[in-house]
Structure 1
Amino acid sequence: MDDLATTQTFLGTAGKVSRVDLSVLSTKTSVENKGAELEKKVPGSRAKVIQQVAHAEERLLEKIQALMFFITIGVLIVSLLSIAGTMTTAVIQRRKEIGIVKAIGASNKEIAKLFLTEATVFGVIGGTLLVFSMGPHQQGTKQPILFEQKK
């Protein structure tokens, strides 16, 4: 059903509205104000803020956000360990090359810079992926209002 008129025709309730559910993006107090405003604009109607549903949704959202925070911290720790392991393996596998570079005249500081640059590249790529995986955060919450026609 696309619109109210089609739904009313299908149900045989043309011209009669029994209930309208709305979702308002605002704070708790302004939702109550919007409910009162709707009652004034539509005579014979009653707007009821569904606080329990809103509170349950808010608690669930907070739990999901906390879970995502801990998962993100876990992923960050695993990523750090992975990069450390990769860099250790790179040093072990490149011992001969490190020896050749030292024989040419490179200092330990210059060799360390090479490996730190490589680790930085890995870190930047990993950090970028982390930022994109977190996604945008919502500003405010949707709080439902039940809007019914008084009988």
Structure 2
Amino acid sequence: MKTLLIVAHAPSENTRLMVEAVLKGAQHPDIEQVQTRWVPPLEATPEDVLTCDAIILGTTENLAYMSGALKDFFDRCYYPCLDVKQGLPCALYVRAGNDGTGTCRAVETICTGLRWTWIQSPLVCRGDWKTSFLDQCEELGMTMAAGLDVGIY
């Protein structure tokens, strides 16, 4: 059994719906060999990362940067995971009121330093709320979990 860790900041109803959509996709009934866990960034520990096989990061765009909660997660987990989790498959989704560029750049810089491996470009859900964001998040969760399930990641 493989473990997919979702570390996502969900301070609003819409961002909570987004993380639930990621979970729904990752827990598709056809995916049998992957267990999925969502841990909010302020609760996530280095041990959570050290015991997972892939990670999906989720954040809001805050002043053209990631949420403080996700930054706190990286501050606490960076060095304990640096040499141990190189190559960890990762993905990112951003709920962006603007364009998400600064947020993506900041998270990508940290993940590059950790030497994690991107499975796809960041999913940036921009502008006013759209229910299509939920479909995109569900697809992201399913893509990562299905890749783990069949051994691609």
Q: Structure 1 length normalisation: TM-score? A: 0.22
* Higher RCO structure (Cα 8 Å, ≥6 apart): 1
Q: Which has the higher strand share?
A: 2
